Amino acid sequence: MNYSTISTLLEYLPEDEDFATSNFFGGSNSSLTHGVLDQASARFIIAYKDLSLGWKSAQLLANSAISFPCFLSGDDLWLFKAYLYCLDSKKFFNRAVAEARGLASNHMARDNETIRALLISDDVDYKYIARRTSLSEDTIKAYERLFFNIVDRKQDHMFIKNVVYPDGRMVEMFDDYLKNEDLGKILLRTGYNNGAEHVLHFAGFKSGLVHSLANGNNMPAQLEALFMANGYLLARNGWLNQRANAVGLHNARNILQASKQGGVEEQKASPFAGVADILSSEMLNNLQVDATVRLQKTQDFYAGKNIVDV
C-alpha cells in the first residue's frame, strides 16, 4: 500500500484504543490516546509510520460492524483475505495468511529479519525471495502487505530512511557499532545499501559472494578507495579533531601515511610539468661546459713543466 491508499483506508477504521496504539518502526511504543495530539495528527502518524497497519486494519474491521472497504485492488487485497481470516480462521482459512502470521511472530524472529532485509533490497522481487527462501510467493506477498508494508513506498524516501536509519547513519560511526546494534537492523541496512546477495550471505544462506568478489582484480584499490572516501567524509563533517569514535578517519590517515612513505603518492598534474627536466638538462650542459674549460686551463698550466717542479 502506498501512502494515498493508507490514508483512504484509515477513514474506514473505527476509533479504538488498539487503533491508536502502534509499534512504530522507530522503536517507539507510543500511545496516541492521551490528548497530546488531535485525531487528524494521530491518524497521519499511524498512516506514515506503522508498517503492520495491514494486519491491524483487518483485525479492527473484523471486530467492528463496519463493512470492509471496496477500493483496494491488486496485492492490497491481501488485507481482505486477512479480514476474512480474522472473521473465521477455519471457514476462511488461508495458508499464506497463516504462514505470514507465523513469520511475524517472535518464534521466527531471525527468519522475519531476513525476509524484511530482502524486501527492502532494490534488486529482487517476490518471486526471487520465494525461490531463495523456499517459501511460497503468496506467503511473501501476504507478509509484506500485512506486516512489513514497504514495497509500494520505496520512493517515499523519508519513510524508507526512517525504516532503515531511524537515528541516521551517524550510528555507524561510533566504536563498537556492530557489537551494540541489533542484528536485524544491521541486516536491514545490508539489504538497503548492498542488495539481496549480501543479505543472504550474512543471514547464513549458502552463498558464493566472497568467491565472486575475490575474483575481482581491482579489489585492493576499491577497498583503499572506500577507506579514503569514508575518512574524507568524516573529516569534512566534524571528525577531524576527534580521537574517539573516529576509526574511519584514523584508517584513512594510516593509508595516506603509508602511501607517502612508500613513495607512491599520486600527484596532480601541475602547470609547471616538465620544468624540472628542462632545468636538469640545462644544469648538466652548463656543468659539462664548465668542466671542459677547467680541463683546458689545467692542461695549459702544466704544459712544458716537470711534474717535480710543480
Confirm if 59 and 97 have CB atoms less than 8 A apart. no
Say whether both 71 and 109 belong to one domain: yes
Confirm if 97 and 142 have CB atoms less than 8 A apart. yes
Say whether both 162 and 233 belong to one domain: no
Say whether both 220 and 202 belong to one domain: no
Residue 188 included in any domain: yes
Sorting pLDDT into bands at 50, 70 and 90, what band is 276? very low
Say whether both 188 and 53 belong to one domain: yes
Say whether both 237 and 154 belong to one domain: no
Sorting pLDDT into bands at 50, 70 and 90, what band is 87? very high
Sorting pLDDT into bands at 50, 70 and 90, what band is 27? very low
What mean pLDDT comes out for the span 117-141?
Answer: 95
Confirm if 162 and 25 have CB atoms less than 8 A apart. yes
Which of 30-44, 163-177, 229-243, 271-285 is predicted most confidently? 163-177
| pLDDT above 70 for 13 | yes
Q: What is the pLDDT of residue 247?
A: 84
Q: What is the pLDDT of residue 47?
A: 76
Say whether both 96 and 237 belong to one domain: no
Q: What is the pLDDT of residue 274?
A: 52
Would you state the cell numbers that stand for residue 154, as one nine-digit string?
520505496
Sorting pLDDT into bands at 50, 70 and 90, what band is 310? very low
Residue 148 included in any domain: yes
Q: Report DSSP letters for 193-234, one per residue.
A: HH-HHHHHHHHT----HHHHHHT-TTHHHHHHHHHHHHHHHH
Q: The domain containing residue 58 runs over which residues?
A: 3-171+178-207
pTM of the predicted structure, to 2 decimals: 0.75
Number of independent structural domains in the chain: 2
Say whether both 142 and 226 belong to one domain: no
Q: What is the pLDDT of residue 241?
A: 82
Average pLDDT value for the chain: 82
Confirm if 139 and 100 have CB atoms less than 8 A apart. yes
Would you state the cell numbers that stand for residue 42, as one nine-digit string?
494521530
Q: What is the pLDDT of residue 249?
A: 82
Q: Report DSSP letters for 232-269, one per residue.
A: HHHHHTT-TT-STT-HHHHHHHHHHHHHHHTT------
